[in-house]
Amino acid sequence: MTNIYAITVGLLCVFSLNLSCKKESNMTENEVDKNNSIIEKHDINRIEPINWWVGFKDSSLQLLVHHPNISKWTPEISYHGVSIEKVNQADSPNYLFIDLNISETTKAGKFNIAFKQENHDDLVYTYELKSREKNPEDYVGFNSSDAIYLITPDRFSNGNPTNDNNKTLRETTIDRTDDYARHGGDIQGIINHLNYIDDLGFTAIWSCPLLTNDMFQGSYHGYAITDYYQVDPRYGTLEDYKTLSSKMSEKGMKLIMDQVANHCGLEHWWMKDLPFKDWINYQENYEKNRDDWSGDKSITTNHRRTVNQDMYASKKDKKNMNVGWFVSAMPDLNQRNPFMAKYTIQNSIWWIETVNLGGIRQDTYPYPDKHFMSTWAGAIMHEYPNFNIVGEEWSLNPLIVGYWQDGANNRDGYKSNLKSPMDFPMQRLIVEALNEEESWDTGFVKIYEGLANDFHYANPQDFMIFSDNHDMSRIFTQLKGDVTNTKMALSYVLTLPRIPQIYYGTEILMHDFDNPGDHGLIRSDFPGGWANDTVNAFTGEGLTDEQKDMQLFLKNMLNYRKHSKAIHEGKTIHFAPEQGVYVMFRVFEDETVVHILNKNEEPTQLDLHRFEEMGLTEKTLVNVITDAKVVWKDSLLLNEKGSTILSTKL
């Protein structure tokens, strides 16, 4: 494949075009200002990114141009500070990839790109370079001081019923009785309930993808993107997305965007006219079978994610993992193609700037080419040094997950540039620990030893921990409908040295008992999000006492956590479980948080002398949930099974 790239890139360079275009771009700044009253035109079908900014550390910009037979045209730009470095033709005659350089002196403004061909009128496209709205250092990503609320937007709240159907898209049906149809939730629905999310104590929102999924079915879930620069009109508009971000910023909240670098949707616009012979993986197989495409024609991944680290892995297994399609409806993007790589990096940066992101969640992180993923994350962190990215690596082995974190001491020398892997190993252990009976090697010892694995992680506090998410059974279901165990799971998640994420509806014990593991059911509608709902979790109307109690429990936990330096950045000390009780301490300066998990059904006296090293003797602590005060001396009566969270911060 390397030889193919070398030959292709060699053929793509059009040096005569570059020389003439560079010459045209050498106008002085004064000349540009005099001629800056341009006539705006958009003769080209598509140019992406659809705009850009001045002032990046990386001065390069690559424009994807798509238009019938555009390869026969020569682009020219006359704008001070902007020069065409190279014009690259593709395998399809309908593409050009134009490499620009934007100098430090370039001013924001609009300019025309003129495409010229002898005996033809020019094709003109007006492009804009904007001023950046804030300093790159001010894009502060989510961290261990945050608590993230995960939302499946189609299922949260329908704030604008007028956008439910869009006749220009393939799936137009709204059917709330069908778990795999669209239900109508949208961006406005999230905006309408920001106060609810904020009052609960969350400081960030991660929404499943909001970009256009113009698929024939199942388009609600968002991970089969068909346009990387368009908000799905059934969710709203780009302005709605910007409004969500700005209103969150007013509340001190961060917006996390779910992005997908590994694959797109089968109905993506470029699938009808692929620019290069290697734009997607197994492209020849797809093009040979595209007229009769079905699941059995697709060459799918083996999902053997360990090949990324396995020193014994076969070439065949490695290729099948990283090159195979995730599913037949999601073409696997080939990031080894340098134009695809540049496109993906620029798209991520475009969204950070456009909607003022406070983080990115990258889907299926270990599936693309891992060296590209390092380059992608590195490019973003280079431009935004205080930003954050979380990567989904659904593996239960901490050795595998730890490999992907920036700073890991990997024997193969791999540097990921990724700050925050997802802690799937600990999530599984929390469920096992609470479902199992206590013994020497079952029950609480699972999370005690699981937390001890933090020695392997470069920065454990930057891991994202969660009780569940949109791809697995609800935590209430995983814990067999046990409310007390669910509270213990959530309190542990919220006091660990981690970045916690909670899935919408967890606060009201949403579940999937009717068909455990069914994705459509896991992503059920949030009650109260639709006009005629008889139960409204936003107001509490129609909720059971158990649901109201869980809602209050989480609210108390989250709002305490919001202001607890001990939980955000404190030292962690835990004691091995004994007699069905596991105790963990978080300590920062004069604040100590004590987290006690107790499985005993009958009242139990906890001997406090065991914890003498913590220096709490004779100190008064307050129960974070009940506000009751206790004096730390000799023993503590645990009246019932459950979690107890105490703090020296009265």
**Residue 85 CB: number of other CB atoms within 10 A?**
15
How far, in Å, CA of 426 to CA of 493, rounded?
9
- Stated length of the chain: 650
In the chain, count H helices and then E strands: 18, 26
**Residue 106 CB: number of other CB atoms within 10 A?**
20
Show the CA angle centred on residue 293, arms to residues 292 and 298, nearest 5°.
Answer: 140
How far, in Å, CA of 202 to CA of 145, rounded?
10
CA 599 to chain centre: 35
DSSP code string of 444-494: THHHHHHHHGGGGSS-GGGSEEES--TTS--HHHHTTT-HHHHHHHHHHHH
Contact 635, 608 (CB under 8 A): yes
Could you confirm whether 133 is annotated as catalytic? no
> Which tokens hold the place of 225?
């993107």
Give the list of residues 6+ apart from residue 298 with CB closer than 8 angstroms, or none: 282, 285, 286, 325, 327, 328
- Give the strands of the sheet with 60-66, arranged side by side: 46-48, 60-66, 95-102, 82-89
Terminal Cα distance for the chain, rounded: 64
Contacts within 8 Å (CB) and 24+ apart, 160-166: 160/186, 160/188, 160/189, 160/236, 161/531, 163/233, 163/234, 163/235, 163/236, 164/234, 165/234, 166/233, 166/234
Contact 446, 432 (CB under 8 A): yes
> Which tokens hold the place of 372?
């590209």
Show the CA angle centred on residue 484, arms to residues 483 and 485, nearest 5°.
Answer: 95
The active-site residue out of 227, 240, 267, 363 is 363
Give the list of residues 6+ apart from residue 204 with CB closer than 8 angstroms, or none: 142, 146, 147, 148, 149, 253, 254, 255, 256, 358, 359
How far, in Å, CA of 31 to CA of 37, rounded?
12
Burial class (CB in 10 A: 0-12, 13-18, 19+), 369: buried
Give the list of residues 6+ apart from residue 135 with CB closer than 8 angstroms, or none: none
Half-sphere exposure of 628 (CA within 13 A, CB side): 7
Could you confirm whether 291 is annotated as catalytic? no
The amino acid at 342: K
DSSP code string of 536-558: BTTTTBT--HHHHHHHHHHHHHH
The active-site residue out of 232, 392, 423, 462 is 392
How far, in Å, CA of 86 to CA of 16, rounded?
10
How far, in Å, CA of 325 to CA of 283, rounded?
10
Catalytic residues: 363, 392
